[in-house]
Chain A
Amino acid sequence: MSASDNLIPVIVSKVVEVNSIIKRFEFKHINGDALPAFSGGAHIVVEMIDGATKRKNAYSLMSSPFKLGQYAISVRREDDGRGGSKFMHEKVVPGMEMKISAPVNLFALDLRAKKHLMIAGGIGITPFMAQMTQATELGLPFELHYAARSASQAAYMGSLKAQFGDAVACYCADIGDRLNLEALLSDQPLGTHVYVCGPKGMIEAVVQTATNLGWPAAHIHFEHFLSPPMGKAFSVHLAKAGIDIDVGPEQSLLEAIEASGTPVNCLCRAGACGQCETQIVACDGDITHNDHWLEDDQRASKKFIMPCVSRFSGKRLELDL
């Protein structure tokens, strides 16, 4: 079972250039039907057919969970990336037919919270846009702290202030405005939950600061917007299928397995959900584990790999697929 088995056919209804590096894409169901309901923090997987290459990238839904006529995502262009964001920026135009997965939420609001404290870095703003709409509708207290390199690169900063007023605080590094995590996290009412989405360093800083201040782990929530890291090409043997497959430098192992027609479970495609956990039959070499799922002892055992984000270098890797 995999979320990408039941893809939803959609039409690109709108493409908006938000700034020089970010574009917003809106999708409608091809039949005009309502799209599936979702909760703030959910993402969809977008299938991109780029000639002979099929890519699948996950993007957070930023549109209102209460308006299901269309979905919206924002994509930051990564010129050094694997090509997914470039494809979205260069090839995707209004009227185009695409396929998306049903929403999956690995970053949901904890509805028991007395207050929701949201911390966004850069394009990490997108899941919070849906969450803030949800929190407003449900009457949940929240605050957003949004940090970016510069105002010109900070997508939606102006409109968020206009829409949510004092609940939004912005920090632009180029004018020396910095978010003081220590001060923010040391003065919150009991029962507050903190959510962070942004670059790796920011997530680590929030988790570390909150932990040092004595926040319960269950009140700290984070989401990495991780795309599969690139690397050198490698080959893998799929034991059950009895075939060898090649993984290209810009391709993930999961994508290569899918391209071979071999069934494999998956959901988030970002090393977080655990669905694609695969057993290793034999490994003569090194695995670069890029996931957030496996335990340290599982990694050390060389018995498990998360093909959506992890890579291999060495003589031979044999998987139980």
Chain B
Amino acid sequence: MTIQFRNETFRNDFTYANSPGNIPRFPFPFPEDEYMYSTNVEPHHATRVGSPFEHGFDVDEHYVAEMKDRALVLADDPGRCQALPHMETAGWDFVELVMVSKARDYPDLFELTMEGDQWHWINKPLQIDDKFTFGDASTLPCHPMEYIGRQVQGDHAILDQRDGNLWLDAGIITAQADWSLDFDVGMNFFEWHAPVPLAHELGVFQRALKFLLSLPQGQPSRRLNWTLTVNPRLDTSPENYPKWGPDKLSVTPDNIGEKIHLRVELQTFWRLPRSNAILFPIRTYLMAMNEVVTQPKWGRRLHRVIRDLRPELVEYKGLSRYHPMLVEWLSKYDDGAPTSPGIFPD
């Protein structure tokens, strides 16, 4: 399968869109008609050909445009990519995992040749053809994490494991849902999750940490998380809040279908072999409300979920300003019919 990469933007004129064929493969995050936190983790097995779960690192029609957007963010703010000094080995683990996976899963797009520690990597969509010595950072143009992080969709945090906790000690984060690497770097699992409401009391983080600390090699896991974003903007960082915060004021009943996007994070967890760290990719998928409701099941269910969302979550996810308007708009797509279980469209 050859992917037609879209030429599109995630800022200014916002030309981002999903082609009709790409819509049904969106990772719709609601398996039921209501939503509450859960440690909804499952094995990240290859699932369902054509879905975003088919391969460990999904490549889709937005790949090239997303990598261009990342380069723009990094040029403007190098602090979006940081690695504490002890995280270089983990960076190499990340390089290996992505290159080996992509070359295996998308042989028409990526090629990897390994002769001992002499590696040759070809990334056709981004027109990269590099030879380097695995483990020797002086043979790459930048830190290994940054090098591969500029070639893989989604943000990537690397969590060091020690003292019975996980520490956010490295990351390349340019497409985040309102959290800051520069603020969080060096924090432990409970510290960087501190702002999340309700979940602490439910013991969600205790259980999640315990699970992650014993994550085995070769058995990655995944979960979906979600929020809503006005305009298809990847970089909704606190650093740039003045650029995107006011977008919320632009939502009207007439433009809500094109303005509001369901923003889904496919979060995966991988034990890294040499560093014993955990790679935490946060892959963002964006879909306009108009595109979501082309799937009748999703339209019905999204109306019910958003309508019944608990007030704390409406506030935390930053939806307060347009929540009633959105519920009203979505209600047109809910005829009250029952929905089938699971996330995939009918």
Q: How far is the CA of A138 from the CA of B88 in the complex (A)?
A: 10
List chain A residues, Cβ under 8 A from B31: none
A65 interfacial by beta-carbon distance below 8 Å: yes
- CB distance B273 to A36 under 8 Å? yes
- CB distance A138 to B214 under 8 Å? no
- CB distance A138 to B89 under 8 Å? yes
Interface size class of A (residues with CB under 8 A): 20 to 34
**A window 1-58: CB within 8 A of B:** 1-3, 5-6, 36-39, 41-42
- CB distance B161 to A38 under 8 Å? no
Assuming A108-B162, A111-B89, is B217 touching A274 (CB within 8 A)?
Answer: no
Assuming A39-B273, A65-B274, A111-B89, is B216 touching A1 (CB within 8 A)?
Answer: yes
Interface of B is mostly: mixed
Q: Mark B207-236, 1 if CB is under 8 A from A, else 0.
A: 000100110111101000000000000000
Give the shortest distance, in Å, between B276 (CB) and chain A (any CB).
4
List chain A residues, Cβ under 8 A from B125: none
Interface of A is mostly: loop
Q: Find the residue from B43, B86, B216, B275 having the highest chain A CB count within 10 A.
A: B216
**Of the 9-residue stretches A98-106, A165-173, A229-237, A245-253, which lies at the interface with chain B?**
A98-106
A273 interfacial by beta-carbon distance below 8 Å: yes
List chain A residues, Cβ under 8 A from B276: 39, 41-42, 105, 108
- CB distance B216 to A37 under 8 Å? no
- CB distance A218 to B162 under 8 Å? yes
List chain A residues, Cβ under 8 A from B216: 1-3, 6, 101-102, 104, 267
Give the shortest distance, in Å, between A206 (CB) and chain B (any CB).
17
- CB distance B86 to A111 under 8 Å? yes
Give the shortest distance, in Å, between A202 (CB) and chain B (any CB).
22
B13 interfacial by beta-carbon distance below 8 Å: no
Give the shortest distance, in Å, between B45 (CB) and chain A (any CB).
11
List chain B residues, Cβ under 8 A from A36: 217-218, 273
**Which B residue's beta carbon lies closest to that of A3?**
B216
B163 interfacial by beta-carbon distance below 8 Å: yes
A275 interfacial by beta-carbon distance below 8 Å: yes
List chain B residues, Cβ under 8 A from A112: 84-86
**Which A residue's beta carbon lies closest to that of B90?**
A111
- CB distance B274 to A103 under 8 Å? no
List chain B residues, Cβ under 8 A from A38: 217, 273-274
> Assuming A105-B276, A112-B85, what are 6 further A-B pairs, CB within 8 angstroms?
A1-B216, A1-B219, A2-B216, A39-B275, A110-B86, A218-B163
Chain B residues packing against A (C-beta within 8 Å): 43, 84-87, 89, 93, 96, 160-163, 210, 213-214, 216-219, 221, 273-276
A-B contact pairs, 10 of them (CB 8 A): A2-B216, A3-B216, A3-B219, A37-B93, A39-B275, A102-B217, A108-B276, A111-B160, A218-B163, A274-B214
